[in-house]
Amino acid sequence: MSPHRSSRTQRTIRDVVFVDGVRTPFGKAGDKGIYAGTRADDLVVKCIRELMRRNPALPAERVDEVAIAATTQTGDQGLTIGRTAALLAGLPRTVPGFAIDRMCAGAMTAVTTTASGIGFGAYDVVIAGGVEHMGNHPMGVDADPNPRFMSERLVDPAALNMGNTAENLHDRFPAITKERADSYAVASQAKLAAAYTKGQIQPDLVPVATMKPEQGWTVNTVDEPPRPGTTVDDLAALRTPFRAHGRVTAGNAAGLNDGATAAVLASAEAAEELGLSVKMRLVSYAFAGVEPEVMGIGPVPATEKALRNAGLGIEDIGLFEINEAFAVQVLSFLDHFGIADDDPRVNRYGGAIAVGHPLASSGVRLMNQLARQFEEDPTVRFGLTTMCIGLGMGATVIWENPHHPGYLSGTSTETATDAESEGAAA
C-alpha cells in the first residue's frame, strides 16, 4: 500500500454561491444590429471588467478560472475564448481560462462545470459566462454534420433545424395551438416592458459603446429586440417559415441575436472571507438527452432529474426562469408539470421571445433575473433556471434564495438523507 494513502482525509462537498452576474444589452443579429462590426470577445471583456468593477472586494488574483461558452468557436469566438477574454480584460496572467460548448446551454454549462470544481475544492472563485455573435457567426455556419446522421437515419433531418423541431413539438402536443403560443409570446413582451418600466432589467446591463462608419459612437444601454405593444393580431399575420401553414413564427420564437454574459461564483467560505454578496446558493443541476427532433422537451427530464437530486418536488419551486427558445417549448414544460400559462411564478420579467436569445450566453441571463427576483421576493425559497438545447438535450439548475427565512436551516435534500439514514439504522 502506498505510504501516502493513510494520510488522505475525507473530502467534503462545499456550498457554491452565485455572487453577481451581468450581461450586455442584447442586439439583433445582422448588418443593422447594434453590434454589427463589434467583436464577440470584446462583448465578453465588457462583462468581465464590469464584474470586477462591481465587486471591489474580489482581488483579481483570487479568480481561479474563467470559463466562457460559445456555440460557434471560430474567429472572434475562437482561440480558447475563456483564456483570451481573461487576458483582454486585464486579469493577471496567472488566471487560466477555457472555452466550452453545449449550444444554447453553453453559459449554463460553464456555470455548472466550474461550480462542480468549487464544490470539489479545486477553485474558490470563478468567472463563468457565454457569448454569441450570431451576426458574425450564424448558427451552424461552416458546420459539417457527419453524413451518417442521414445515411443511417440516426436522427430525423428536422433535428438539424431548430424551427422544425418546434413544429414537431406542436405535432406531438396538439393542445398547444398557434393561438396559444402567440398569446404566450404577447405576454412575454408585456412582462419585459413592465420590468423595464420598474427598473428591474437595467441593473444587470453593461453599457457597450459601438462605432459604425458614418454614424460615429453609440452607447448601447438597453436591449434591441423587444417589441412592446405587440398584439395577438400582429402575430397572427406573420408567416410560418419552417412549414407551410405551420405554427412557429418569428413572433412566438426567440430571434437571432448578439450578446454576452458573465457571472462570479464562489465557495460559501470564500464569499464570507472576501465579503462578497451572496445572491443564490446552488442546490442541484442536471442535464438530460431527448429525441433530437423534439429537442424542446428537454427541460422536462432535466428538471425531473434535478428535483430528484435535490430531494424536492415541483411544488417546492417558487420561481421559474425558462428560456423561451420557442413558445411551444415553454408551454410543453408547463403542461407537463400542471402549471398554467399565466402562472405568476414563471418568467416574471418576460423571456427570450422578447429580450432575445444569443445562444451560449442565455443561461446566465436566466440566473441574473432569478437572483433579482429572489431579492424582491423573500417568501420564495427555491427557484430554477432551465432551457432546451439543440440536438436533443435539456438543462436545469435549482437555486436557493438567501433572503428566505429558512435559508440553510435544513433543505429537503438533508431531510431526505436523514430519513434514509434512520430507515437504514432501523
233, HSE (Cβ side, Cα atoms, 13 Å) = 1
Cα(40)–Cα(82) distance, integer angstroms: 12
What residue type is assigned to position 352 of the chain? A
DSSP category for residue 261:
E
- Contact, 49 vs 58, CB < 8 A? no
Rounded to 10 deg, the angle between the 162-172 and 327-336 helix axes is 40
Q: What is the pLDDT of residue 410?
A: 54
pLDDT at residue 419 in the model: 36
Q: Which of 58, 292, 250 is nearest to 160 (CA)?
A: 292
Among residues 130, 45, 121, the alpha carbon closest in space to that of 90 is found at: 45
What whole-number distance in Å separates Cα of residue 306 and Cα of residue 402?
A: 19
**Running DSSP on this structure, what letter comes out for residue 253?**
B
Burial of 107 (0-12, 13-18, 19+ CB in 10 A): buried
289, amino acid identity: G
Residues 6+ apart with CB under 8 A from 225: 26, 27, 28, 255, 257, 354, 355, 356
The DSSP letter of residue 60 is G
138-145: long-range contacts, CB 8 A cutoff, minimum separation 24: 138/29, 138/72, 138/256, 139/71, 139/72, 139/256, 139/359, 141/72, 142/74
Alpha-carbon span 242 to 320, nearest angstrom: 29
Q: Are 318 and 380 in contact (CB under 8 A)?
A: yes
Structural domains in the chain, CATH included, are: 12-136+150-399 (3.40.47.10)
Residue pLDDT, tens place only, 67-90: 999 999 999 999 999 999 999 999
Residues catalogued as catalytic: 104, 357, 388
Residue 246 Cα to chain centre, angstroms = 28
Cβ contacts of 308 within 8 Å, gap of 6 or more: none
What parts of the chain have a pLDDT lower than 70? 1-9, 409-426
Q: State residue 139's pLDDT score.
A: 86
Tens digit of each residue's pLDDT (9 = 90 or more) over 276-286:
999 999 999 99
Q: What is the DSSP string of 118-160?
A: HHHTS-SEEEEEEEEETTTS-TTTT----THHHHTTSS-GGGG
- 280-289 and 16-23 beta bridge pairing: antiparallel
Total residues found in the chain within this entry: 426
CB–CB of 385/108 below 8 Å?
Answer: yes
Distance between first and last Cα of the chain:
36
Q: Residues with Cβ < 8 Å from 230, sequence gap 6 or more?
A: 185, 186, 189, 251
**Can you tell me the distance from the alpha carbon of 127 to that of 79, in angstroms, rounded to the nearest whole number?**
18
Distance CA 149, CA 164 (A): 16
Task: Dig out the grid coordinates for 254 from the structure.
Answer: 426567440
Contact assessment for residue 282 and residue 16, using Cβ atoms and an 8 Å cutoff: yes
Residue-averaged pLDDT of the chain? 93
Residue 393 φ/ψ, nearest 5 degrees: -145, 170
Q: Is 147 exposed, middle or buried (0-12, 13-18, 19+ CB in 10 A)?
A: exposed
Q: Which residue has the cell 457569448?
A: 131
Q: What local confidence, expressed as pLDDT, does residue 369 receive?
A: 98
